[in-house]
Each structure stands twice: as structure tokens, then as C-alpha cells.
């Protein structure tokens, strides 16, 4: 036995109980009362603390070329930040270029990841950029053989799919044991509104929200679900942000369809008001919050919380996609330094990989949801959906010792300069108070966060293979 965490309260998705947790060779080797350490065992006193599985962030964009630049965190700095917030596995999106075989993209990005040196384990989702021919579509097979069984299609952006391509991707994915995620927004309506507002001289970040308001996402959520039903395929809606979409997911699940939804902390905490005022009190401007989809109104925020409580929303992820404030300012003056900018010239995305677990656990600590629910949506369900529950997502004998010791009495106010560990120069979470915080984080039984600093190793994280997706109904 290498490590013995003694006297804490173990939290799983379904139960909470007092137990010691033993770790041997990077795996959880025993869970029980009064476990005895060996001569060389390191013993950690966890009295008054919770023992949780490390979170799995199913939605990150590290080192991603986007919006005329590259997202600020790479596979190392992004995973360092993740680790310091209790997230011990990420799933990074990598998007196929037109004409590029998907497997070439995978090989290229695995090489990039290895070069940058992730601090924690990772896997990939392949963003579908070209399924215009049968040959390109069937390129998915090699990706599944390589251990990546999750894909994402975009109903928006220039590289997005049309409904026919979406339908064929869904159909083929279900044949080969893969799960398709979707970024659901109505592209045509969005484009129409963008042009209208720009013609009217309405260029401020508020019009980013106005051109992607609730129904722009809600209609696409409903259409995506209909396409999945038609294709007889499972579907995962990423970054669900609106009440209409929550209702559509709830209905499809009640009918017995394997429809799953993810939401993100930003949709549970902020509202569209940030596009008017930013958060002046902590120096954040409206453009700092520009991400897609944008934050919505309070009705949607409340519906998402309800969706979590009722099981309609299955997972929490961050959509971590950070850009520097000088890049966010391209909405005022574009990258060339002279052309006036507008809300469409702001790189889309915000940081959050370090904040997801502390945020949702803090909400649990305040009584909004149970700790079990927090563990379920941030760890156990993403592990199941993305086929890594054979090694991650729970405190269970035989699984990787990716463990968070959580102190419910340690309060932390997010301060980008003082206590955040990514590469970004700001965070939308600045000044947010967390009631309770991780005080130790382990990856494969090795300490990576000591409650203050990153103490892990660059390059220690490994690629994790995903099993095939076999779930036929709404239950995981």
C-alpha cells in the first residue's frame, strides 16, 4: 500500500459513508474501516473532509485554433489548472479540417498533446468537419478503433454540418458504437440576425446574445433530438443553456430515447446581463463573457438547475476555451489594429476548467444539490458516457486513484493572480466565492495539488481509451 487516506467521508454518486481509502500502484486497492498502513505507506488524515472521485471535464478546447488565434491554455497549462480544481481527466475537442482523414487529425493531436505534456489523463472528442463523402464519413471507424468513441457536430459556424450530414453522422455513429455530441444553434437565423444588427450599427457584445437568444438554441436542440430519433441514434447535447432545450430533452428521455445533455457552470451562475454590464466590480468587460452559446436569461438558468435535480441534465463540463483580454478587444478594434470590430470579431470562449468542481461542490455545500449529485454529474456520468468508467469516475476498488480530498470549511474567493493556475490573464469567475474547496488532489495516487500549488509533473498524464457506447435508453 502506497497511500492511505484515513477517516474521511467517501462520496459516490449514490451514497456517502465514512471509510479509509487505500492506494497501491496508482489504483484504489481497498476501501474500509480501520485499514492498516504498511511500513512505507504515506498516511493522510482526512478527518472532517470528503473523499471524492476526481472530476472528468468532458468539454475543453486546449490549444485550439479558433477566432483568428489559438486558445491560451495548452495541454499542459490547461491540465495544470484542471488538476488544481480537482479535475483529473479532460476530453479535449479537436476538429477535422475539410478533406482531412479523421485518424490523421487524431494522430497529429496525440503527438501535440505528448509534446505539450498534460499533467493529468486526457482523451479526445473528434469535431466533425467533413463528412461530405462516404469515405470521409467512414473515417470515423478508424477513430473508434483507436479508442475514441465520441464525436461532435456543429449546427453553427462555417465548418458546421447541414441536417443531412448530421443525420448520416448519427446513423453511422450508432452502427459503430460511438456517441455524437452536438453544438445546437440555428445557423441560418443566427446569420440573419448578425447581418441585421450589423447593418443597424449594433456592434456591442449584447448583440452576440441577441443573435443567439434562447429560441435560436432551443429550436436547434429540438431539431437535433428529432434527427437523433429519426436516425435511431443516441445523442449528447453539449453546453445546453436554455429552458426550451431542457424541456425537449426531458420529453425525449421520458419517451425512452437515449438523449443526454451537458450544461456548464457559466449557464448556472451568470445570465445574459453580463453582455450589458460585464462584471465591473471585478474589472470584467462584456466582451470577456462572449462565448457560444451565450449566457441566457434567468428562466433558462432556473430550468437548468431543475434539470440537474431531476436527472434531465446528465453532466457538467466547462467548455474551457480561454482567450486573452487583448484578443477579446478585437470586438472593438480588430486584430489588424485598425479595422473597427464588432461582436462577431471577438474570439468565442471563456475559461473555467479550474472552477467547475469547486463551483458545483460549493453549491452542494450550500445545500442547492446533494454532494452525490455533484459527483454524479461531474465525475460518474461523464465517465460512463465517454466510455472510461472501467478506470475513472468513482471511488471504487480497482479504479485509478484519481482522488480529491475536499474541505467543506475551506473558503476560497477566485482570484486569477493569486490562486488560479492556467495561462490566462483573467477569468470570468473572478471574485466568485466558493464555500469549501479541494485541499488535495491525486492523479493515479500522486499528489498534483496540495491545496495551494500545482505539485504534479508535466507529461505525467496519459491518453485514456474510450469503450464503445452501447446504451440504448436514457439511463446510464
Interacting residue with ligand URP among 87, 169, 348, 381 (CB under 6 A): 348
Span interacting with Zn ion, options 157-165, 172-180, 316-324, 354-362, rule CB under 5 A: 316-324
| Residue 203, binding choice from Zn ion, ligand URP, none, Cβ under 5 to 8 Å by partner class | none
- Quote the least distance from Cβ 254 to ligand URP, whole Å: 28
320: contact with Zn ion by CB under 5 A: no
- Binding Zn ion by CB under 5 A: which of 9, 183, 212, 444? 183
The residue range among 175-183, 270-278, 352-360, 373-381 that interacts with Zn ion, by the rule CB under 5 A, is 175-183
CB of 190 to Zn ion, least distance (A): 13
Q: Does 319 bind Zn ion (CB under 5 A)?
A: yes
Determine, following the binding rule CB under 5 A, whether residue 212 of this chain makes contact with Zn ion.
no
Nearer to Zn ion, 94 or 363 (CB): 94
Binding track, positions 150-189, relative to ligand URP; x by CB under 6 A = ---------------------------------x------
b/e map 429-464, b = 16+ CB within 10 Å = bbebebbbbbbbbbbbbbbbbebeebebeeebbebb
Q: Is 349 in the site for ligand URP (CB under 6 A)?
A: yes
Binding ligand URP by CB under 6 A: which of 77, 292, 345, 355? Answer: 292
Least distance in angstroms from the C-beta of 322 to ligand URP:
10
Of 291, 399, 403, 447, the residue at the interface with ligand URP (CB under 6 A) is 291
Size of the site for Zn ion (CB under 5 A): 2
The one segment of 207-215, 243-251, 315-323, 393-401 that binds Zn ion by CB under 5 A: 315-323
Residues of this chain that bind ligand URP (CB under 6 A): 61, 183, 291-292, 319, 321, 348-349
Amino acid at each position: 500500500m502506497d497511500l492511505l487516506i484515513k477517516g474521511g467521508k467517501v462520496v459516490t454518486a449514490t451514497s456517502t459513508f465514512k471509510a479509509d481509502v487505500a492506494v497501491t500502484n496508482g489504483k484504489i486497492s481497498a476501501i474500509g474501516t480501520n485499514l492498516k498502513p504498511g511500513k512505507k505507506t504515506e498516511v493522510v488524515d482526512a478527518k472532517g473532509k470528503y473523499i471524492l472521485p476526481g472530476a472528468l471535464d468532458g468539454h475543453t478546447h486546449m490549444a485550439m485554433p479558433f477566432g483568428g488565434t489559438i486558445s491560451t491554455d495548452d495541454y499542459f497549462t490547461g491540465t495544470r489548472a484542471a488538476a488544481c480544481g480537482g479535475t483529473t481527466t479532460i476530453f479535449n475537442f479537436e476538429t477535422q479540417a475539410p478533406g482531412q482523414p479523421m485518424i490523421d487529425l487524431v494522430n497529429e493531436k496525440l503527438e501535440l498533446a505528448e509534446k505539450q505534456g498534460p499533467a493529468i489523463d486526457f482523451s479526445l472528442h473528434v469535431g466533425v468537419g467533413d463528412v461530405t463523402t462516404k469515405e470521409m464519413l467512414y473515417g470515423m471507424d478508424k477513430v473508434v478503433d483507436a479508442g475514441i468513441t465520441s464525436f461532435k457536430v456543429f449546427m453553427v459556424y462555417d465548418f458546421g454540418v447541414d441536417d443531412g450530414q448530421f443525420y448520416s453522422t448519427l446513423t453511422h455513429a450508432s452502427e459503430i458504437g460511438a456517441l455524437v455530441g452536438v453544438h445546437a444553434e440555428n445557423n441560418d437565423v443566427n446569420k440573419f440576425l448578425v447581418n441585421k444588427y450589423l447593418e443597424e450599427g449594433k456592434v456591442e457584445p449584447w448583440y452576440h446574445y441577441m443573435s443567439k437568444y434562447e429560441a435560436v438554441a432551443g429550436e436547434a436542440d429540438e431539431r437535433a433530438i428529432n434527427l437523433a430519433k429519426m436516425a435511431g441514434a443516441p445523442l449528447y447535447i453539449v453546453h445546453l443553456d436554455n429552458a426550451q432545450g431542457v424541456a425537449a430533452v426531458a420529453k425525449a428521455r421520458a419517451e425512452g430515447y437515449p438523449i443526454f445533455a451537458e450544461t456548464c457552470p457559466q449557464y448556472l451562475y451568470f445570465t445574459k446581463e453580463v453582455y450589458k454590464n460585464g462584471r465591473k466590480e471585478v474589472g470584467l468587460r462584456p466582451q470577456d463573457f462572449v462565448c457560444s452559446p451565450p449566457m441566457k436569461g434567468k428562466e433558462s438558468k432556473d430550468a437548468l438547475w431543475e434539470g440537474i435535480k431531476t436527472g434531465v441534465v446528465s453532466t457538467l463540463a466547462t467548455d474551457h476555451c480561454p482567450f486573452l483580454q487583448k484578443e477579446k478587444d478585437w470586438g472593438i478594434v480588430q486584430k489588424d489594429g485598425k479595422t473597427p470590430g464588432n461582436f462577431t470579431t471577438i474570439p468565442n470562449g471563456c475559461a473555467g476548467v479550474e472552477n467547475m468542481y469547486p463551483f458545483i461542490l460549493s453549491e452542494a455545500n450550500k445545500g442547492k444539490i446533494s454532494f452525490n449529485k455533484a459527483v454524479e454529474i461531474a465525475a460518474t456520468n461523464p465517465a460512463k458516457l465517454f466510455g472510461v468508467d472501467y478506470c475513472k469516475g468513482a471511488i471504487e476498488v480497482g479504479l485509478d486513484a484519481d482522488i480529491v480530498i475536499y474541505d467543506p470549511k475551506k473558503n476560497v474567493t477566485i482570484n486569477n493572480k493569486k490562486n488560479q493556475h492556467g495561462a490566462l490573464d483573467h477569468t470570468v469567475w473572478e471574485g466568485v466565492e466558493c464555500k469549501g474547496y479541494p485541499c488535495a488532489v491525486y492523479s493515479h495516487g500522486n499528489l498534483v495539488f496540495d491545496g495551494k500549488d500545482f505539485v504534479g509533473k508535466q507529461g505525467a498524464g496519459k491518453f485514456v481509451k474510450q469503450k464503445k457506447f452501447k446504451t440504448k435508453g436514457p439511463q446510464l
